[in-house]
Amino acid sequence: PFIYAMALEQGLIHYRTMLKDVPTTFNEYSPDNYGSIFKGPVQAWFALGDSRNIPAIYLEQNLKERNLYDYMTQAGITGLKEREHYGLSIVLGTADVTMLELAEMYCAIPNGGLQKEIRSIVQSSPKKEKRMLSAESAYIVRKMLEENVPPYQNKPLEIKDIPVAYKTGTSIGFKDAWSAGIFDRYVLIVWVGNFDGSGNNAFLG
Q: Cβ neighbours of residue 52 under 8 Å, at least 6 residues apart?
A: 19, 21, 33, 39, 42, 46
Alpha helices in the chain (DSSP H): 2-9, 44-49, 53-62, 68-75, 83-86, 99-107, 135-146
Question: What tens-digit pLDDT sequence spans the chain (205 residues)?
Answer: 999 999 999 999 999 999 999 998 898 888 887 778 899 999 999 999 999 999 999 999 999 989 999 999 999 999 999 999 999 999 998 999 999 999 999 999 999 999 988 887 787 676 789 999 999 999 999 999 999 877 777 778 888 888 999 999 888 888 889 999 999 889 999 999 999 989 998 887 7
The sign of the torsion formed by the CA atoms of 205, 91, 52, 156 equals positive
pLDDT of residue 6: 98
For residues 1 and 109, is the Cβ–Cβ distance under 8 A?
yes
pLDDT of residue 173: 83
pLDDT of residue 139: 98
pLDDT of residue 39: 94
For residues 125 and 205, is the Cβ–Cβ distance under 8 A?
no
The sign of the torsion formed by the CA atoms of 44, 50, 51, 53 equals negative
**Single-letter amino acid code for the residue at 94:** T
Q: Rounded to two decimals, what is the model's pTM? A: 0.92
For residues 115 and 103, is the Cβ–Cβ distance under 8 A?
no
For residues 65 and 29, is the Cβ–Cβ distance under 8 A?
no
Backbone angles phi, psi at 173, to 5 degrees: 75, 15
